Structure 1
């Protein structure tokens, strides 16, 4: 995973990421992909539990998993249970999970392969893995920033839909639908993106030239439309 201190950010994480509107949109999209018979799910990288909490309100029993103690402290009370663990080594028996969700996890890792393999291990036959894919492609698409940013987007990403689908196929996980939802409160202004370019956290290869071109766009302080995120559902094959 990226070297990032989520413990330090936990207390302010929700308000900086769109809060309940964004979480509810994600949870509704996830629930729309789950089979009606599903009652329990494992929420990987559950963070503050805000998405899992919305799923719990919808009637699911939710086990949250996260590496950050600070995030799990915020999640207390939102989920039915939570455990501090690495998503690549879950404290779950093989074939024990009805469903596993990973909202905004695979975009943070260098290699999605061990995460997908571990999900496949714990899913029961017929179980569903629901994950966000192509996260970076959701930002600035269709806005006047798109043409400026496109040359600096990586060609292949760990959470690319094609990459995740190929990894899943090696573990008997097959595509079983997709959904999209709005990332409320996540629209960024050209000036905000320019600041991230300068600090090297996004589109760093563009450097000062890209930052200046972003700031030269009309209304540089005005947030562009919220991103639309994509969920991919993958079903574990029933054998026999």
Structure 2
């Protein structure tokens, strides 16, 4: 997993910036009930998405383990942030009307502790909203997809079936779905090859994968933006 304290300074610029953040927030908000007043955003990072998770009567809070990320999030969220491990949240049971997790579960070896904590801090009638199947969103049939597919994670912590199962184990039931475009996230062969060589992505591919990426045509041309899936589960 990346060192997100080190990643903080470049995070927004390398993750699609405001267009992607707004698209993600709109998809999450579409699944949050109108009567929700408090929302906890897990692994909020720099708060670039979290600050858009608001509307009249709804206030977002952010929690993240990386101090450097929270330094960016704090001014965006008027200080409504907390440093903590999302697998052990420092909040009482039944605290929030909604809990969100955007691009979190796919990073974990097992999503079970996070889903359990989300369910615990949700009030009755609240919703847990999360992105799922992130890897699948990047495997949309481009020439890059064919190369990287064998080097992806074999066990996907954010697979829809797995998250639905975990949610059910904690009394959370399907509440709807949405999708959004990851603006600016279409992969560029030359850039991805550099990331692979640096060990930042697909580390098992190493030099061999990087060389194959560099052999693709249109080295500086981005492939189509991914379309991400968001699921909601109600308590």
1:16 Cα deviation after fit: 1.7
1:181 Cα deviation after fit: 0.7
The 8 Å contact of residues 55 and 62 in structure 1, kept in 2 or not, is answered as: yes
> What is the CA–CA distance in structure 1 between the aligned matches of 2:207 and 2:48, rounded to whole Å?
36
Q: 1:120 to 1:141 in 2, by over 3 A?
A: same
Deviation string for 1:47-106 (max 9, x for gaps)? 111111112366520111111111111112222511111111112111121000011111
Matched residue SS, 2:205: helix
Alignment equivalent of 1:48, drawn from 37, 46, 66: 46
The 8 Å contact of residues 56 and 79 in structure 1, kept in 2 or not, is answered as: no
Q: 1:71 to 1:154 in 2, by over 3 A?
A: closer
Alignment equivalent of 2:21, drawn from 8, 20, 23: 23
Matched residue SS, 2:76: coil
Q: Which 5+ residue runs of structure 1 have no aligned equivalent?
A: none
The 8 Å contact of residues 139 and 149 in structure 2, kept in 1 or not, is answered as: no
* Aligned equivalent of 1:161: 160
1:215 Cα deviation after fit: 2.1
The 8 Å contact of residues 38 and 99 in structure 1, kept in 2 or not, is answered as: yes
1:117 Cα deviation after fit: 0.7
Q: TM-score, normalised by structure 1?
A: 0.90
Q: 1:178 to 1:204 in 2, by over 3 A?
A: same
* Aligned equivalent of 1:103: 102
* Aligned equivalent of 2:30: 32
Residue 228 of structure 2 corresponds to residue 229 of structure 1? yes
After superposing the two structures, state which structure 1 stretch, 47-56 or 194-203, moved more: 194-203
> What is the CA–CA distance in structure 1 between the aligned matches of 2:58 and 2:200, rounded to whole Å?
36
The 8 Å contact of residues 95 and 124 in structure 1, kept in 2 or not, is answered as: yes
Structure 1 stretches of 4+ moved >4 Å? none
Residue 178 of structure 2 corresponds to residue 179 of structure 1? yes
> What is the CA–CA distance in structure 2 between the aligned matches of 1:49 and 1:33, rounded to whole Å?
19
> What is the CA–CA distance in structure 1 between the aligned matches of 2:84 and 2:104, rounded to whole Å?
14
Q: Which 5+ residue runs of structure 2 have no aligned equivalent?
A: none
Matched residue SS, 1:56: coil
Query: 5 Å matches for 1:7-156?
Result: 7-56=5-54, 60-80=58-78, 81-156=80-155
> What is the CA–CA distance in structure 2 between the aligned matches of 1:96 and 1:35, rounded to whole Å?
16
> What is the CA–CA distance in structure 2 between the aligned matches of 1:105 and 1:73, rounded to whole Å?
19
Q: CA RMSD in A?
A: 1.8
1:140 Cα deviation after fit: 4.4
Matched residue SS, 1:33: coil
Q: TM-score, normalised by structure 2?
A: 0.92
Residue 218 of structure 2 corresponds to residue 203 of structure 1? no
Matched residue SS, 1:128: strand
